[in-house]
Each structure stands twice: as C-alpha cells, then as structure tokens.
Structure 1
Amino acid sequence: MGGSHRSDHELNIETARLPRRILLGFLAVMAAVSLVATFWLWPSADDQPQHQEYAADGVTFLSGEVVSVAEPCPVISADVNAAPAEREEFPEHCNEVVVRPESGSAKGQEVTVLATPEASRAGVEPGDTVRIAEIPPATADTEAVFAWVGIERNLPLGLLAIGFVIVVAVVARIRGILALVGLGFAALVVGKFMLPALLAGENGTGVALAGSSLIMFVVLYLTHGASIRTSTALAGTLVGIAITAVLGYWVVDAARLSGISDEDGERLSTFVSDISFQGLLMSAVIIAGLGVLNDVTITQSSAIWELRAAGPELTRRQLFTSGMRIGRDHIASTIYTIVFAYAGTGLMVLMLLSLYERSLLDTLTDAAMAEEVARTLVTAIGLVLAVPVTTAIAAATVAGPATPSATTPASSDATSTLPESQ
C-alpha cells in the first residue's frame, strides 16, 4: 500500500495512509449523518402523547413495615376436568398482609391490605418494607382505604448496583469507569431522544439507526480511546448495525410481525395510537444487538493490531486469515450468549408453550415466540457478518508487511519504521 504511515497510540502499530483516510472519511460522514438525523427526528414537546395518570387524584403512596403475613392463597388448578369438590378451597384471609404505615392518616397504626399472589409467594416477612396506596374516603362518613402496591426493593437493588460499580472499577480500572460513563450516555440518548421520538410516532428504523450510531461513536471512543484501532472497530460496528437493520426490515414484513404480541404492547396501543409497532419492533431488533456487536468488533480490531505487533512480516491476507480464526471462536461463544440470554428472559413463556400439545415448529412460529426468534436470528446474522467486515477493515488499515531488513534482530521491534511503500 503506497503512502506514509502513522502509529497507533497504544501498540505503536503503523497504519497505511490511504486506507486510514478512507476510514476516517467514512466515519466523519457517518457522524455527520447521525447528528443530522438525530436533529431531524428530535421530537418537540407538542409531539409527545399525553401523560397517563398512574393513580387517581388524591391517592398517596406510603412506605410501611410488615407486621404479619397470612398464608398465600393456593394456585388455582388449570385442570378443567377436576371436580369442584377436588379443588383446594381458599383459606380465610389468605394473601392478607398487616402493615404499619410510616406516614399518612394511619401513621403508626396497623392496616390490612390484600397482597397480590406473586407478592405472597415471593416470601414477604414481618419487618420487610412495602409500598401501599392510601385512597381517600369517598364521603365524610367513610374511612380511607389502603391497597397493596408492591415490595420496596431499593436497598437490595441499590447495594447490587453499588457492588457492580465497585467490581468494574477495581477490575477494569479506568476503562471500566469510562465504560460506565458511556453506559450513562447511552441511557441519556435512549431516555431523552429515542423513547420520546418513538412515542411521537417518528420512523422507528430511523430513530434506532440515528440513536445507535450516536451511542456507538461516543461509547467506543470514550471507553477505548481515540485511535485508528478503535475507529476500525467503530466502522465494523456501523456496518453490522446496517446489516441488522436491513435484515430486520425484511423479516418484519415477510413474517408479518405486528410488534404487538403481549399485554404490554396491547396496553401501549391503547395509550398511543400513532405508534408504528412494526417500527418499534425494528428499533428493538437494532438496539438488542448493540452490546454483542460492539464486543466482537473491538475484539477483532484488537486481534489484528496484536497480530501485526507480533508478526510485522505477515501479509494482509495472513493477518485476515489469522484474525478470522480468532473471530470464529468468538462467534461461536457469542451466539451461545445471545440465544441463552433470550431463552432466559423468555423462560416462562417457553415453559407455558411446552405444556400445549404442539410441534416445536408451531411453537416457535407462534406470535408469542416469533418476534423473539426473529430478533435473535437477525442479531446473530448481523453479529456474524460484522466479524469478517471488521477483520478486513483492520487488515487493510494496518501497514503492509515489513521488508526482510526491517525484521532483522536489530530492528524487529513492533515500533520500527516501515517502508513508505509496500
């Protein structure tokens, strides 16, 4: 490759001038497109749907300490053939929880609320802190009514989050801390741009592409540093996102996926009628693959840089071949990660569907599972194709093989100056 070379900051690996310029030019164009698209799709306050009241006027939410817990109500059997006499009767006062509110009109007193079956089976014990709702009396002659809201989990989840931050900071050090900052930026983009834009009825694919690209630009450079190696991984990530979007667009249309396959989708459709739920599914497909996509591209880019440092005499073809051997192993393990992650989140749905006398094919193509299957396969294909793309970009970007004189013991260090043309 003709032209001069420049060193990567971390490994002092020389890079070819022309591929480097093409790479940086491509990223500059993509950055500009992402910013323009984000500005164009940014929703105004007038476009936002009306907020829904979580509770009726006058209802207040209180924390309280559990005083006593009644036994859980038995689970109703789904066996319709069972005789009524054979079915287990509900014990009196089952699922009732006595709570002492910390505020409100009944502060310090004991009130009885009916907990949900899930809460009772979760193991609520005396001394736990729970949330209840105080509903004001309808007339002057009646009293306030108290209802169950949920278990207060701030402390255990807060401790877990603090532990996560500490572990990341201790093990990964500055890189881990920067990754957490990048995660915060990603949450900001999702919360302040992507969700409002989707609720405003903007094109789901456009919102996901703009937001995902913006996140990847900031996260990759912030976490891994501004270098040609990181730029190579970023380019591979953007190509992977584009592949995922194209495949997602095709499968949503070809498989006639509505984007509404559960109660949450039905509930959202009653609140916001302008949303394209197929576009929303497209956004979910693109966002779902960001984490693993970023993982494989940065690994492949780093692998090529390490191979060049260890073997200055390797040709670009040899670099690509060696990098792909690493990539194939990574692909295999990452695919397991994707499939098992989706299987874990949908475990109860899988168990429920397995109870019915249906073939595996019918189960997987059912509306309840088809979206998850499509999301998994599209993400996996985008991930797999991003590996050779990133490897090829990295192999083309690093400098060509050193001449025999450059690899003699006197000048075999990875930081040696390579010839101007290969």
Structure 2
Amino acid sequence: MGSDHSRSVPSAPPRVRRILVATVVPLFVATVLAAVVLWPRGDSPQTGGGADVPRYHGTVTRVVTEPCPPAPQTPEGTPDAGDGPCGTVDVRVQDGPSAGQQVQTPVPDGPGAPRVDVGDEVILVELTDPADPSASNWNIAEHQRGTPLVWLAVVFAAAIVAFGRWRGLAALAGLAASFAILLAFVLPGIAAGRSPLVVAVVGAALIMFVVLYLTHGVTAQTSVAVLGTLGSLVLTGVLATIATAATHLTGFGSEDATTLSMFQADVDLHGLLLAGIIIGSLGVLDDVTVTQAATVTELANANPGLTRLQLYRAATRVGRAHIASTVNTIVLAYAGASLPLLLLLTADTRPLGQILTSEFLAQEIVRSAVATLGLIAAVPLTTGLAAVVTAAGRSTAEPADDVPAPRPQPDRAEALAALSSPRAGPLNGPDPTRTTPPPTATDGWPEPNRSTDTAW
C-alpha cells in the first residue's frame, strides 16, 4: 500500500535506494534480534497479591431502596451516614457455577459506587467465608461495559475506513499491531523484570517499523520517516535519562506507581518512568516525521526547480507551524490525563514553588519538556534526509508535467499561402473581393501592418 497521491512520486536512484536499504535493514534486524533476546519466556512475575476474587456477569432484575438507619453516636456537624442509599438489589447471574440463579446484593454505596437500575449489566463478586465455604456474599463491583465499548469500536473502525479507505484499513492494521506488541512483548517484558528502558526502546522501534511500513508502504519516503523517527527516539531517551537524573526523579511520583511496587517489587520504577516517556512520544513523532517527509515530496512535485536547500527551508516552515500546534497538544494531553491531580493542587496550601518542584508534578513537567524537545529535533532531521533523497531521485527522473511543451512548428503550406496572398495596406487598399475580415494576430496570423518575419 504505497502513496495514494494522484501525482507519481519520483523514485530514488539506485545509489540512494542502496544506501537506504543498507541503513534501514541492519537497524530492523538488530531490533528483531533484541526483541527475541528480551522476549519473556514463561517468566512469572512475583506479586504480593492474594487470590483473585471470582467475578461474574449479571443482570439487575429488581432494585428496592429504603431509608438508611442513622449511624449511632454521629458527631454533630459531620455528614450523616444515613443519607446514603440503602436497600437490596436482585441480580440474575449470567455465567459461572451459579449461572441462572437469582442472588441478592446490597445497594452499592460509598464514593464512586455504581448506580444501578433494572436491566443494567453489572459485574458481581462472590465473597466466601473461609470458616464456612458454603456461605457466600454477593456484591456489585461495577457496570459491565463490554457491549457499549464494542459498538464504539465498530463506529471508530467504520469511520476510519470510510474516510481513509485502503489507507484507513492499513492504519487499523497498524493499530492492532501496536497493541499486539505492547501486550505481548513490552508489558510482559517489564513485568518479568527486564530493564523497562531497554524494553521500551526495542518495543517502540518494533512498533515504528511495523506501523510505518504497513500504513505508508515500503518506499524511500517511508524509510526517511523511519530514520527520522528512530533518531528522534534515541535523542528522547538520552534527554529523558539526563532530565530524570538531574531532577532526582525516582518514579514513585504517583499512587499507581506506589501500588505497583507493592504487588511487583522487581519492577524498576525509574526505568518505567523513562519507558513511559519514550512510548508516549512515539505516536507524535510518527505524525511529525511522516508529515515532513510527505511535505518535501509534494513540494518537489509542485516545483521541480527547487534545490535541496530550498526544499529544506520550505518544508521547515511547514514543520514550524506543525510544531507550534503539536506542543500545545502534548501539554494539554498530559494536563487532561492529570486533571484530578491538578485540581488537587488548588487545595494545597504550600507555596507555588514547592508544589511545582514536588515529584508528582515535576514528573509531568519532565514528560512534557522531553517529549517536546524530541519532537522539535525530528523536524530538521527528517526534513534534511527527505530533501536529500527527494532531490537525488528527481535529478534522475523524467521531466515533470509542469515543464512547458516545445512550440509547434507552423504548417508549411499555410505559411506559403499566407506569403503569396495580397496584403491589406495603405498602398493597395482593402481587397474588394474579400468577404471575411482579415485575420488578426490573435488568430495566429501576421498583423496587417507588420512584416511577416516580425509576426512569426
């Protein structure tokens, strides 16, 4: 699936293609070999959690609510515990050993408790008394969201295919490949105790090779985007290592990281922070590098007379506009993901300087800054490579369609007839036998008062 532009892209000359192949193929082979070495082979991560609580699907058949009894000895001025929902919920179990049975659960209460109605699909948990295994209690954990998510995924895929057609279908295949690499290699590798930074770099490179070539085709333009993305990823990893070391980040800046350390003590949280920065910046880097490589190609098609330097300068101006909007996108993406954290800052009474330098916020600042620096470096790197490859391919390609065609030669018989016919002028006067007006210069004939040589 190559480029879908209506105009043909000049192919790179054999020498340039050989250089690209000699550069990209060893990098791809090295990435595959590293993935094979780091691939988890049945390593079971050590966890500190206990046995999993059974979870089953169920359908709510009846909800009975009633006023809650007041809590005994409630201090004056505190919220009354009796204000919460009380009652029972009847649920029909859909799977598991109790499939088809009606069970009764209390109405969910507490912060974040789901609100259920008749007909809702829910997730049930069965709690068994160790002293009496035959006695069990049922509770509603959360809503069952499988069906809405499936419909949302169908609409998502249909919209991409309807707009992108074959290119959209290739994008979906690339998305599936990305998730497959993350779920089969990156996450199990980190959970097995491998270095998160090394696993993230190899996984990101593997995703980059598969997604870019699958989506955009095996072309010189795609190879340029691959090299630009890989170079920017390496720079991002180096900058992330330096920045996290300079700011003394440990990786324990979030509650999720602290919880993970309790269940999987072997995971390097500092390396996990670096891995998150690299994988998080990969998607934006792909966008920028592919756009810059395509921009250089289209500029060369539109104006074949542009030199390498002119192509570089023109495409860099496009890259500046792209970076200006993408930087805001990165910051807002991190801010949106950390919105509860930012809202919590409004209730903090510490000085602003202490808040900004605390680890949980400094971690997000480092993420945004390092990703942006890697993004900025991707523009000149990819644009320069694309300008060299495109200009080299254009110099050996056929002339572009915009070159004007040679001027057609006049018909010899028409020229002789024009020379032998009487000319209108002040000496001879108008021809009385002529019924049509004399031809004008706009018709392709000489003007009456000009010589034949000058007109032609």
TM range (shorter): 0.7 to 0.9
- Larger displacement relative to structure 2 (308-317 or 258-267): 258-267
Partner of 1:278: 270
Contact kept in structure 2, 1:236 and 1:297, CA below 8 Å: yes
**What amino acid sits opposite 2:91 in the alignment?**
R
Contact kept in structure 1, 2:46 and 2:265, CA below 8 Å: no
**What secondary structure sits across from 2:135 in the alignment?**
coil
Question: TM-score of the superposition, structure 1-length normalised?
Answer: 0.84
Counterparts of 1:293 and 1:198, CA distance in 2: 23
Counterparts of 1:156 and 1:219, CA distance in 2: 28
Counterparts of 1:230 and 1:190, CA distance in 2: 22
Counterparts of 2:199 and 2:253, CA distance in 1: 22
**What amino acid sits opposite 2:93 in the alignment?**
E
**TM-superposed deviation, 1:375:** 1.2
**TM-superposed deviation, 1:172:** 1.0
Partner of 2:423: none
Q: Structure 1, residues 179-209: CA drift from partner, whole Å, max 9, x if none?
A: 1111111111111111121112212221111
Partner of 2:162: 170
- Matching residue within 50, 63, 83 for 2:58: 63
**TM-superposed deviation, 1:25:** 1.9
Contact kept in structure 1, 2:60 and 2:116, CA below 8 Å: no
Q: Alpha carbons of 1:320 and 1:72: their partners in 2 closer, same or farther (altered >3 Å)?
A: farther
**TM-superposed deviation, 1:92:** 5.9
- Matching residue within 16, 31, 36 for 1:34: 31
Alignment of 1:139-288 (within 5 A): 139=131, 143-288=135-280
Counterparts of 2:390 and 2:175, CA distance in 1: 29
Structure 1's unaligned 5+ residue stretches are 1-7, 74-82, 412-422
Counterparts of 2:367 and 2:245, CA distance in 1: 13
Partner of 2:371: 379
Question: Following superposition, which runs of at least 4 residues in structure 1 exceed 6 angstroms of deviation?
Answer: none
Structure 2's unaligned 5+ residue stretches are 69-73, 407-456
Are 1:298 and 2:290 counterparts? Answer: yes
Alignment of 1:365-376 (within 5 A): 365-376=357-368
**What secondary structure sits across from 1:143 in the alignment?**
strand
**TM-superposed deviation, 1:89:** 0.8
Counterparts of 1:9 and 1:396, CA distance in 2: 23
**TM-superposed deviation, 1:123:** 4.5
Q: Which has the higher contact order (CA 8 A, sep 6+)?
A: 1
Partner of 2:448: none
Q: Alpha carbons of 1:93 and 1:39: their partners in 2 closer, same or farther (altered >3 Å)?
A: same
Q: Alpha carbons of 1:91 and 1:392: their partners in 2 closer, same or farther (altered >3 Å)?
A: same
**What secondary structure sits across from 1:289 in the alignment?**
helix
Are 1:88 and 2:79 counterparts? Answer: yes
**TM-superposed deviation, 1:111:** 1.0
Counterparts of 1:106 and 1:408, CA distance in 2: 75
Of the two, which has the highest radius of gyration?
Answer: 2
**TM-superposed deviation, 1:362:** 2.7
Counterparts of 2:225 and 2:107, CA distance in 1: 54
Partner of 2:384: 392
Q: Percent identity?
A: 35
**What amino acid sits opposite 1:311 in the alignment?**
N
Question: TM-score of the superposition, structure 2-length normalised?
Answer: 0.78
Partner of 2:105: 112
**What amino acid sits opposite 2:26 in the alignment?**
V
